[in-house]
Every structure is written in C-alpha cells, then in structure tokens.
Structure 1
C-alpha cells in the first residue's frame, strides 16, 4: 500500500459530476471549498495485499452475522440501546426470516497500513453506508482514463446488479421505491439512491423515486403510499432504522413491517435486522465472542477497562455517524465513562499517516460477499465529514 501523487485530469470536477459525484467539493468551517473527490493522489496496492484484505472482509462479515445471532438468541437488545420490546421483537423476527428478505450492501471501515500486519475493524456501516457512487463508478472511470492497464478492487456495479436479480423473487409485486431524505443538502444521499435505483433497473426491476418526507400513510387501507397514492410494498431507504422507528409514523412501520411475504405490509431495504450490525455495540460483542482475533480491536460497553493504562481508547456513540461524538483518549488518561450517551469503548489504534494524511479503508460487501474498496483521508485522527475520497489501483 503506497500513496502516489498524480496530476488531476483537466476539468476533473465536471467529469466526476457527470458520473454522479455532484458533491466534489466540501465547504470547511472557514468557508473555503476544498476537494472531496481528490485525484491529486491515489493509493497503489499489490494483488496479494488485496486478496488478504478480501479474505479478512469475508471472515469479518461471517463473524458479524454470528454476533447478530448471539444478540438475538441471548436477548441482548438492551446492550444496543434498544429498550422497546416491540421493536426488539420485530428485529428478532426479521433476523429469523432473513433468508426471505432482500438485503443489499454494507461497508466495513478498516485500519490498514500496508506494513504487513492484519487489517483492524473500526466499525461496520451496514444500514445506510454512503461513498458508494465514488467507489463503484467515479474511481473506476478515473482508472480507465489514467491507468488503463491497471486493475482495481471494484466489482461493485456488477455485484449490485446481480444482487437485485438474485433477490427479485423476494420482493412483493409492484415497483421498488427508492427514498432519500430532503434534509440531504449535499446531494450525496440523493445520488447514492439514484445510483442504486439504476442498478435495480439494470436488473430488470420496476422502480420509483420519492423522498422519505413524501411517504404518506393511508388510514383507511392502513398502508404506506407514495406521492401518487400508490401502495409502497417495497422500499429501499437511505434513512437509518433508528430514525425510521422513532418517527411519528414509527408505530405504523412496525405494524406493517414485512418480515417475509406479508400482505398489506412494506418490505424495507435494508431489513430491520441490519440494526444489529449498524450499532457500535456490535464491536464489543465481537470482541467478547472472538477475543484476540487478529482483525479485531478490544472493545467494551462498560468503560475502557485496562485500555486506559495500556493502549488508550476511543469512545464511540452507539449510533454515531461521520465521526460525530467520537472522543479519543491516550494511554494514562483516567478511565472515564461517558454519561452523555451510550458508547462503545474501543482500543485506540491510530490511523496510519501517509504524507500527513490519516487514512481509512472502506471495504464493501454486496449480497454477503466482498465487492470493492474506497479510501478516505482526513486531516485529523477521526474520519469526519471533511474527509476526502481518493481512488486506488492494483499493480
């Protein structure tokens, strides 16, 4: 794994916008606009290195499914901050019927420095991961333009189309709705949903787009309806489950949740059981089940324990996103427990630094299989909304 500098293509901003990355710049707190899509550098991997990463992702995904089964079997929903028995029951039902429910994708965030050690799991974004358009599309076309003889860990597009085709029999009749929130100011959620809708259409599915805010509830038929008053029988939503369940219509969501073949109900994609994997408490359950695993970092729910004296730790809110609320603590700090919100306390493993940039790998899973890689760089130790996306090649 090496960081290489490169000359950005002339008119690069227009190029990536045409490819769906309509958010190529990020506005920073000082008001300046700086590239989010950054092709002034790229990362180069060897094929054996990528094969090792791919094997680690496959194993991690299998371990996460085992951890989800453990949470359901041992009724450990409270550890995830899920205290509503009704919601827990619906999640458990979704898990038990998961083979009947469509489930598309997820993204592991990994620490990897290319120095020969194993990749370490930082978290699993299994419900509403973004940075998909740039990973699946823009970086592939960048490689074809600049390195036509190279390769890339990137089978995302074809795997997404294949996933829709394979899972089409699980979908109820009628169009698949694709929903994003109008609160998305950058356009990232909009374009992620639009791209996934495109892959569904390439798989032969009928689709329809709408915003989450435009979803209505018909009290007579007791069904969700779209902006044309058509029944929503299936819906891909880039909207976190914890928000959906807590919405004013959250009760209706649980009442009509299709956990496999229900009539008059709605099949949501991702399914409710993905709440088990998108919660940072999963990291602590994994460490409990697989202590010392080379791809895991120590993690606990009751505090930093001995990490306070040894490695240092990171406190991560159970439902945090884009680095929000994450605090970093070095070895020797008092082992404080956060009282503002439930957290997972994970061993501090500082991100590797390349040319002054803190790097995290985003390894994608589609239909349960490793599918590709995206890379983000940040100026500080926490990957936040000001991180940049860089492409990669295999040589």
Structure 2
C-alpha cells in the first residue's frame, strides 16, 4: 500500500460535477482530492476483500447472539424498537448496503473501527467518481470497485415495483447520495419517487405512511437513522410496519457502537477486531466513542492516559464505548481510513478518506485508489 502524489486532472471539477459530486470542495479546500492516490497490490486487495467478508460473517453471528441472549439493555435500545428488531431479523428483511471502516497500512491485518450499517454516505465517490478517475488516468489498471454493478443486481431482490426515497431537507451530501441510489434503482427497472423526510405524512384511514400526494409508501428507502426515527412523534406508527423500510430495522444492532463490545466478547482476539469494552479497563491508549455518534463527533483519543485529540458535537451525554487505540497509520502525516462496502451481503469495493487529524470527520478528504 503506497500513497502517491500527482497533479489532478485540469478539469477535475467539471468531471466530478457531471457525475453528481457537487460538494467536491468545502471552504476552498478539496473534499474530492486527486492530488494523491493509494496504490495497492492485488494481494492486498484480496486481503481487504477477505477481511470484509469475514467481518460480515461474524457480524451476522453476533446479531443472532444479541437477539437470542436479549442484549437490549446493553445496546440501549427501547423495548418497542427491540421487538421490531426481533421480528425484522426473523423475517430476514433485506439489506441493501453498509460500510465497514477499517484501519490498515498494508501490513498485518485490517482492523475494524466500526460498521456504518444504517445510513452510510461517500457511496457516490467510491462508486462512479473514482471509477471515472481510474478510466481517465490509468485505464489499464484496476480498482476494487464493483459497487455500481452490485447495486443494479441488488434492487430486484425487493418485489415492490415502486420505491420511495427520502433524506433530510438541506443536506447536499445526503441528497446526492440519494439521487445516485435512485438512479441505480431506476436502471434496475423500478420506478421511484423522492421526498424530504420532513414531508412524510400519516394517513389514519389507510393506516399508512404517505407522501405529499397522500399516496401510501409500501417501501421506503430512508437516508435517516433508525435511532432518530424512534424519537419522532410518528414512531407510534412504526410497530408492525418496519418491514416497509430500507435499511431494515435490525440494522440498529450493527450501527450501534456498543455492538463493537459484543463482537469482541464473542470473538476476542480476532485478527480483524480491536479490543472494545464498556469501560476503559486499564487501556491507557484508547478511543472513546458514544453509542450513536456520527461523522467523528464527540470522539476522544487517549494515549498514555492523557487526552491526545478530541472533537465536539451533540452526543456527549450518550453512553460510551472504549476501543483500543490502533498503532498510528500515517502516510506523510495523512491518516487514511478505508471504507469497505457491502452490497447485497457481499464485499463490493473500497473508498478511502484521509485527514491530518487522527479522527475522520465529514470534511476529511476522499482519495481514489487503484491496483
């Protein structure tokens, strides 16, 4: 694994905007950054794919254990949501996608930091944008990237011909991710309708969630976290209707950082896991994470018992987990995190985010890769 610098394409802004990546620059700094790229060997790509498949396997096993042994309290999930999780798991409600965040420099084994299993973004960048970069800059090379093809294959798994899509109003990144998913859904032969989360209604006569035209939503892809949905006023209507959503409600198990503790308890010493617990337990070097924090907020890194780095955010009052601090992965002062995608239950490719900070945030740069 190497980090290599080079000159960006002269018209890179126009190129990525044509694919829908309109948020390529933030505060005059590139978010999409092709002034560098990561080069892997084919052996390293095989290792990443194998690690991703293995993490998916043990995550399924741990979810089954969590339900069987009733780990609801340890995951801080409400009784109402827990019952829906059980029903959803028993129905085997389908999942479209997820993203493991891994730390690795090409030596040893990739280590799992967390599983963004409910509402992962950076999908557009990882799929078509970095593929275009590859085709234009080194067309004879390859890339660990079958995301687009696997999305097209996955959508027909749902029997509904029409699917609604929603995201929060005002979030450009979320909406660009949503529009890309809508495009893949249409390419698979389905029809789609989109609306803002804030415009979803409830029709008491039909006993159904409805769109602005009062049409019932038989299946809704929501780029909106389940833990937020259960706090909304309309959550009283969720029981008995959770099978109408993508991602399924059982994804609350995996997107919860307390799940990292349960994984470690079941698979202690696994080469792709970092020790994680509900207390520091003597770990002088650790990362403190709230159960449901997002985009690197409210994270604290402690080294040799002293605070090394921290971020602010709205999740400070949540319960925390404590994950062993991985040895520093740095390329010329840049710290990459490899987002390894699962589509339809299978490894599908990677996207890399990097930062000069040890904590990856929503402004961390996206760097393309090849092998």
User: TM-score, normalized by length of structure 1?
Assistant: 0.90
Which one of the candidate residues 83, 101, 113 is aligned to 2:105?
A: 113
Structure 1 residue 248: Cα displacement: 1.1
Counterpart in the other structure of 1:157 = 148
**Counterpart of 1:376 in 2: which secondary structure?**
strand
Kept after mapping to 2: 8 A contact 1:350/1:381: no
Which one of the candidate residues 281, 284, 294 is aligned to 1:305?
A: 281
**Counterpart of 2:233 in 1: which secondary structure?**
coil
Counterpart in the other structure of 1:178 = 165
2:253 maps to 1:283: no
Structure 1 residues 296-335: aligned runs within 5 Å: 296-301=273-278, 303-308=279-284, 312-333=285-306
Structure 2 unaligned runs (5+)?
308-314
2:223 maps to 1:228: no
**Counterpart of 2:282 in 1: which secondary structure?**
helix
**Counterpart of 1:38 in 2: which secondary structure?**
coil
Which one of the candidate residues 373, 376, 386 is aligned to 2:350?
A: 373
Kept after mapping to 2: 8 A contact 1:245/1:254: no
Structure 1 residue 147: Cα displacement: 0.4
CA distance in 2, matches of 1:245, 1:291: 32
CA distance in 2, matches of 1:340, 1:140: 41
Structure 1 residue 294: Cα displacement: 0.7
1:184-243 CA deviation, whole Å, 9 max, x = no partner? 1xx110011111111111111111111111111112222111111111000000000011
CA distance in 1, matches of 2:206, 2:97: 32
After TM superposition, which residue ranges in structure 1, 4 or more long, deviate above 4 angstroms?
none
Structure 1 residue 341: Cα displacement: 2.1
Structure 1 residue 102: Cα displacement: 2.4
Counterpart in the other structure of 1:361 = 338
Structure 1 residues 78-117: aligned runs within 5 Å: 78-82=73-77, 84-98=78-92, 101-114=93-106, 116-117=107-108
CA distance in 2, matches of 1:136, 1:46: 20
2:122 maps to 1:131: yes
Counterpart in the other structure of 1:8 = 8
Kept after mapping to 1: 8 A contact 2:166/2:220: yes
**Counterpart of 1:246 in 2: which secondary structure?**
coil
Counterpart in the other structure of 2:57 = 62
Structure 1 unaligned runs (5+)?
28-32, 259-266
Structure 1 residue 250: Cα displacement: 1.0
2:247 maps to 1:270: yes
CA distance in 1, matches of 2:19, 2:170: 22
Q: RMSD across aligned C-alpha pairs, in angstroms?
A: 1.4
**Counterpart of 1:220 in 2: which secondary structure?**
coil
**Counterpart of 1:306 in 2: which secondary structure?**
coil
**Counterpart of 1:199 in 2: which secondary structure?**
helix
CA distance in 1, matches of 2:9, 2:280: 46
With over 3 angstroms needed to count, the CA separation of the structure-2 counterparts of 1:351 and 1:370, relative to structure 1, is farther
Counterpart in the other structure of 2:185 = 200
CA distance in 1, matches of 2:26, 2:56: 32
Which one of the candidate residues 151, 155, 158 is aligned to 1:168?
A: 158
CA distance in 2, matches of 1:20, 1:65: 34
Counterpart in the other structure of 1:239 = 224
**Counterpart of 1:72 in 2: which secondary structure?**
helix
User: TM-score, normalized by length of structure 2?
Assistant: 0.95
CA distance in 2, matches of 1:13, 1:350: 35
Counterpart in the other structure of 1:340 = 317
Which one of the candidate residues 198, 218, 227 is aligned to 1:213?
A: 198
Structure 1 residue 340: Cα displacement: 3.1
Counterpart in the other structure of 1:19 = 19
1:308-346 CA deviation, whole Å, 9 max, x = no partner? 2xxx10000000111111101112349xxx983201110
